Amino acid sequence: MREVVFVDGVRTPFGRAGEKGMYWGTRADDLAVKALQGLLERNPNLPLDRVDDVGIAATTQQGDQGLTLGRSVAILAGLPLTVPGYALDRMCAGAMTTTAMMSGAIGAGQYDIAIAGGVEHMGRHPIGIGADPNPRFVAEKMVSPDALNMGLTAERLHDRFPSLTKERSDRFGMLSQQKVQAAYERGEFQHDLIPVATRSANGWGLATEDEGRRPETTMEGLAQLKTPFRPHGRVTAGTSSPLTDGATMSLLAGGDTARELGLSAKMRMVGFAFAGVEPEVMGLGPVPSTEKALKRAGLTIDDIGLFELNEAFAVQVLSFLDAFGIDDEDPRVNPWGGAIALGHPLAATGVRLMIQLARQFEQRPDVRYGLTAMCVGLGQGGTMIWENPHFDGKKGK
């Protein structure tokens, strides 16, 4: 298979969804346009007419988040009309899937350069709005009604595994907030954020940072929060990713093409896998997808030196860690925090995980392999394994 490299990735700052969020007056497609323009500006050596395809994911494809986003956003961002594009939906793994599909096309020699990303404006387009699930899902007992509510699927993980206690989830949520704030103070995120002009009743503004962070979070405060998904439950707002607006974009290329054009290679793709599980325990999805990806790559979990796991819910990440015998506070896992603090704009998040892993690779020549993984609505999981081009065998295994 041809070498596939992750050349670069950027994102908008993530905003709180809803009328009080910074993107309430901003169109979803404009968030994607801004991210794509930022990506192109950072890579001036890229001949725009060499881009083979643009894939942009969104979970709720309607209104300003519809109309074949890959094509419409590419045109609005200034790519030549000869560059095609498409839209895709795999709920939370949308951007991960566009990245995987583009990587597969490059690896097979059908594409040389591709752009993959995602956008979600959950303020304008709440998950599931306008959808009409087939009643046979429930009537014929294919899935439980709980499966259509992500918060209830998280509660079911607590039910199924008594070792996944509320206290563990609360601590994981608190540490995510603290790690994100520490990373912000070190300047880890800022390099890859594309500022976005915003408009509200108060006039024009500029979004430069993620809006939903709560570094003041404490265990005592988390213990007092309500459990919105179930009376006397264990999942709270403090252990869940908030509803979020934002966009991500990545640039992928064949290794030979990147060298020809003088493009950097921040990561090399090793492989990817997607898998299905019972929809009622959606959060377990990354376990079989990771097992499948590792097997195909000829690796084991011990070969992975960095993990970027999406924090849809704290309990979901903890279930993954328990499945692979990894400690809750293993320093390899989400070293800069995750979606509980940063937010999770559904279809955009997969590339956010990659952006962070690529930046960490630059700082960690002792790490050879990293992994990005996430659970997906309706009972799925996705995993991508990456190799660090900066790896120095003298410093690590």
Question: Which residues are tagged catalytic?
Answer: 92, 344, 375
Query: What would the DSSP string read from start to end of 233-245?
Result: -S--GGGBPPPEE
CA atoms within 13 A on the CB side of 273: 17
**Which residues fall within 8 angstroms of residue 85, CB to CB, at 6 or more apart?**
53, 54, 55, 56, 68, 69, 70, 71, 72, 73, 74
Alpha helices (runs of H) in 187-282, residue ranges in sequence order: 219-223, 255-261
The CA distance from 280 to 185, in Å, is 39
Residues 6+ apart with CB under 8 A from 370: 267, 304, 305, 306, 307, 308, 357, 360, 361, 385, 386, 387, 388
The Cα 44–Cα 51 span in angstroms is 13
Q: What is the largest CA-CA distance in the chain?
A: 59
79 residue type, one letter: L
* Beta carbons of 166 and 156 less than 8 angstroms apart: no
Q: Compute the distance between CA of residue 17 and CA of residue 51 in angstroms, rounded to an integer.
A: 32
| Neighbour-count burial for 300-311, b at 16+ CB within 10 Å, e otherwise | eeeebbbbbbbb
